[in-house]
């Protein structure tokens, strides 16, 4: 792609007036010295993009750095990272229109089987704009990982129901010398599990020499699967990748809310019920996507962009075979069809890529979008194909990976279900909820935590999380001992 193309694509992601940060190694030595540091420092520099320019084939950004005396430096655009900053902290001289460019009032959602939800805006026919999410934690910029973790746990339920139930069960079972469980002790137990997940130490004797024997008919995974009788679906915020709603139900339970709409449509309606009539946009993959589902969403005051499978007789409301529309056409070809389904206007965009892609949408644009480059196989050879795809594919691609990102943060490292090795489905489910809260806390920290610590790894995030929980217990024990001595 040309340098001009790179420039236009990049400014869509980081417009002029956006708060950014970059590592000092991106500067020249004299520029680093001018702001009172060196290139070898690992700290990040924060500033605001003022303009872009091309130097040969390299796109350079002119950044206003607020470090002592305001200083202008030039940085390669690829080294910039977008940051969220309060309006009152903005550097003077940046136009207000540029500062407010990414703000919008009506956010967007996306769904799936472990699917994501965006917080973006949908103006029908005008595309989607990213909307800044808000975290309801007081002084979150000066908070700790443990406070973020507790934000995603049902603290009231734990204190008012779980801990009293454990104590009551111990009394019923006549456990001798049982001391009532406290909140600090309960979280010490969670802290120990978190510590084991942070620094896993496998036992070779139990892992290799004495493998677990699996009963006939049970999966080889020692963790008894709960998906055989429990359905769990979720929605994630696309701007932060945080899971914001779960739908949990018994798999064969017949009486479900919105059950008259069909299994798939009723699932996404239950997931999005909190945002009815808000004008948000639902992004969903092909497991959910269909014209009838998009029409139902529109009736409940929600827009939608959904991937869609197309077979000769599916979806039923589209009797023709859409694959025939682009038969024999080159790879980069796309067409858009407009129709009215159940009194709801919508469009179907078809893109011939490495495979046929279909999107059904009640919002977004069918005009030319960004330029993309893909590898296309032709027989035994491959080639690069550069083409413009419809803008609605850009809108869909912006948030479709939110749930996958959350899942990867939950499972790519050792997680609670790896250390809570069990055949008990309820303990397995409990470990899932703990892992979900911990992954949400880390992703929230990446977006809302102290600015200088947002770039820490997941591994580094777990260390202060464990320490804070253990210190809370030690502090509570010391308070009790002091009271007893008095």
Q: What is the mean pLDDT of the chain?
A: 73
Residue 301: is its pLDDT beyond 80?
A: yes
What class does CATH assign to 3-102? mainly beta
Q: Mean pLDDT throughout 236-248?
A: 87
Buried b or exposed e, range 227-237, using 16+ CB within 10 angstroms = eeeebbbbbbb
Question: What does the pLDDT look like over 58-100, one tens digit per residue?
Answer: 677 777 775 444 456 777 776 777 775 433 333 332 222 222 2
Delimit the domains of the chain by residue range. 3-102, 286-392
- What pTM value is reported for the model? 0.66
How much of the chain, in percent, has pLDDT values that exceed 90?
8
Confidence of residue 157 (pLDDT cuts 50, 70, 90): very high
- For residue 323, what pLDDT is reported? 66
- Per-position DSSP letters for 157-180, written without gaps between them: HIIIIIHHHHHHHHHHTT-TTPPP
What's the mean pLDDT in 336-359?
A: 84
The predicted structure's pLDDT at residue 13: 54
C-beta contacts of 318-322 below 8 A and 24+ residues apart: 318/291, 318/348, 322/348, 322/350, 322/356, 322/358
Rounded-to-integer distance, Cα 365 and Cα 416, Å: 43
Does residue 146 register a pLDDT over 70?
A: yes
Would you state the pLDDT for residue 289? 85
- Range of lowest pLDDT (153-167, 180-194, 252-266, 316-330): 316-330
Q: pLDDT: is 385 or 103 the higher one?
A: 385
Query: Which residues on neighbouring strands pair with residue 283, listed in sequence order?
Result: 110, 305
User: What percentage of the chain has pLDDT greater than the value 70?
Assistant: 70
Position 438 pLDDT exceeds 90: yes
């Amino acid at each position: 792609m040309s340098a001009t193309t790179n420039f236009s694509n990049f400014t869509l992601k980081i417009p002029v007036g956006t708060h950014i940060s970059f590592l000092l190694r991106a500067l020249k030595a004299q520029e680093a010295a001018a702001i009172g540091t060196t290139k070898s420092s690992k700290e990040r520099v924060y500033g605001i993009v003022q303009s872009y320019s091309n130097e040969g084939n390299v796109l350079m950004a002119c950044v206003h750095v607020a470090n002592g005396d305001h200083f202008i430096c030039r940085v390669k655009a690829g080294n910039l990272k977008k940051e969220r900053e309060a309006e009152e902290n903005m550097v003077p001289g940046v136009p207000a229109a540029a500062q407010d460019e990414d703000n919008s009032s009506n956010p967007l959602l996306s769904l799936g089987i472990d699917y994501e939800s965006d917080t973006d805006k949908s103006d029908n026919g005008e595309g989607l704009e990213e909307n800044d999410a808000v975290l309801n934690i007081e002084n979150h910029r000066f908070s700790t990982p443990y406070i973020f973790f507790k934000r995603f746990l049902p603290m009231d339920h734990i204190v008012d129901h779980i801990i009293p139930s454990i104590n009551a069960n111990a009394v019923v079972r006549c456990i001798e010398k049982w001391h009532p469980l406290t909140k600090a002790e309960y979280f010490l137990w969670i802290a120990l599990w978190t510590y084991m997940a942070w620094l896993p130490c496998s036992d070779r004797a139990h892992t290799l020499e004495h493998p677990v024997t699996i009963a006939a008919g049970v999966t080889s995974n020692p963790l008894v699967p709960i998906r055989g009788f429990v359905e769990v679906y979720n929605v994630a915020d696309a701007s932060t990748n945080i899971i914001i709603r779960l739908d949990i139900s018994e798999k064969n339970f017949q009486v479900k809310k919105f059950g008259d709409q069909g299994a798939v449509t009723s699932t996404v309606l239950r997931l999005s019920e909190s945002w009815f009539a808000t004008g948000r946009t639902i992004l969903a993959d092909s497991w959910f996507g269909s014209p009838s589902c998009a029409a139902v969403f529109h009736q409940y005051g929600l827009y939608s962009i959904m991937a869609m499978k197309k077979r000769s007789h599916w979806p039923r409301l589209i009797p023709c075979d859409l694959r025939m529309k682009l038969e024999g056409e080159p790879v980069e070809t796309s067409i858009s069809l407009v129709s009215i389904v159940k009194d709801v206007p919508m469009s179907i965009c078809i893109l011939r890529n490495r495979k046929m892609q279909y999107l059904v949408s009640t919002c977004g644009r069918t005009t030319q979008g960004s330029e993309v480059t893909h590898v296309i196989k032709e027989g035994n050879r491959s080639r690069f194909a550069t083409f413009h795809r419809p803008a609605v594919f850009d809108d869909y691609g912006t948030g479709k990976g939110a749930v996958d990102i959350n899942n990867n943060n939950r499972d790519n490292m050792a997680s609670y279900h790896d250390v809570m090795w069990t055949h008990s489905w309820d303990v397995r489910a409990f470990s899932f909820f703990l892992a979900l809260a911990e992954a949400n806390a880390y992703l929230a920290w990446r977006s809302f935590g102290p600015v200088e610590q947002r770039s820490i790894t997941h591994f580094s995030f777990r260390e202060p999380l464990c320490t804070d929980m253990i210190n809370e217990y030690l502090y509570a024990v010391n308070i009790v001992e002091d009271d007893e001595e008095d």
